[in-house]
Amino acid sequence: MTIHRPGLPGDLPEPELLWARWGLLAVLEASTEEENTPSVHRTGHWADAGGLHLDDCGCTWWTLAQAGGGRFVLYGEDESSDVKWHRPAVDMLAGAPDWLPYAKLRDLIEGHELGCVYWYENGAWARAPYPKGLADDGLDCGMSRFVDRGDVLGAIDLGGSAETDPELLLDRAERGLLTTELVESAVSGSECDHWDLPAMLRALRLAGLSADGGEG
């Protein structure tokens, strides 16, 4: 699946699939230390009450949030975006529904921190119209890591787990069948020593990926 430059709404997968892939990485990277770090200083992938987030501490940051009733909003920035510096200015909220987090988005726009906004409702992604000739909005560099399933699998490092493999974890996450037992098995069978199981189970619950409630 290809993401155009600038992105098109149809380039994005169904939000539940995007959420599952992103959320799984947030679970695998979770740590108590990072939980206690202010969001503005966090890096990697993580889940909190505000949704799913990623930040590479340099070129790109994104948030995917649920708004209830099958609605989602995706917003963020990659340094490749030409939107925020375009003249005349691009209204990234043109045609947007009234349920978007407008206070947050307008604050980001005023601070020149936002590259694009996409929203999902009634079974389809949408965004504001862009002026002819705009080269890129950053969606490709920001979201292609989740669109290509192979890229997601490549990002899952279980450290030679004897009992679990990345394909199984990803398949379960995508089908809403990820369990605490499976996450625990991945940790216990891994050669890695960086796992923080309590934090991972909290992230599992926050991301809503667990078939058993993510208790732990």
| Mean pLDDT (the chain, rounded) | 92
pLDDT digits (tens, 9 = 90+) for 11-49: 999 999 999 999 999 999 999 999 988 877 799 999 999
Is it the case that residue 112 has pLDDT exceeding 50? Answer: yes
203 Cβ partners below 8 Å, 6+ apart? 23, 26, 27, 30, 46, 47
> In sequence order, what are the residues at sequence separation of 6 or more whose Cβ sits closer than 8 angstroms to the Cβ of residue 162?
189
pLDDT at 160: 66
Global pTM?
0.94
- When pLDDT is averaged across residues 206-212 and rounded to a whole number, the result is 87
Q: Sorting pLDDT into bands at 50, 70 and 90, what band is 213?
A: low
- DSSP secondary structure code for residue 87 in this structure: S
Tokens describing residue 121: 């409702």
Cα dihedral value 79, 148, 134, 107, nearest 10: -50
Tokens coding 98: 């009234």
Query: Does residue 82 have a pLDDT over 90?
Result: yes
Residue 74 CB burial class (10 angstroms; 0-12, 13-18, ≥19): buried
The model's pLDDT over 147-205, given as tens digits with 9 standing for 90+, comes to 999 999 999 988 765 567 899 999 999 999 999 999 998 888 777 778 899 999 999 99
**Sequence-ordered alpha helix ranges (H) in the chain:** 15-29, 32-35, 102-110, 139-147, 149-155, 166-174, 180-188, 197-207
At 64, is the secondary structure helix, strand, or coil?
A: strand
- pLDDT of 109 > 90? The answer is yes
Angle at alpha carbon of residue 115, lines to 110 and 152, rounded to 5°: 140
Please check the confidence at residue 215 and state whether its pLDDT lies above 50.
no
Residue range 52-58: mean pLDDT, rounded:
92
| pLDDT, mean of residues 60-82 | 96
pLDDT (0 to 100) of residue 111: 93
Nearest 5 degrees, angle CA 114-CA 115-CA 118? 100
Contact 175, 23 (CB under 8 A): no
Whether 4 shows a pLDDT value over 60: the answer reads yes
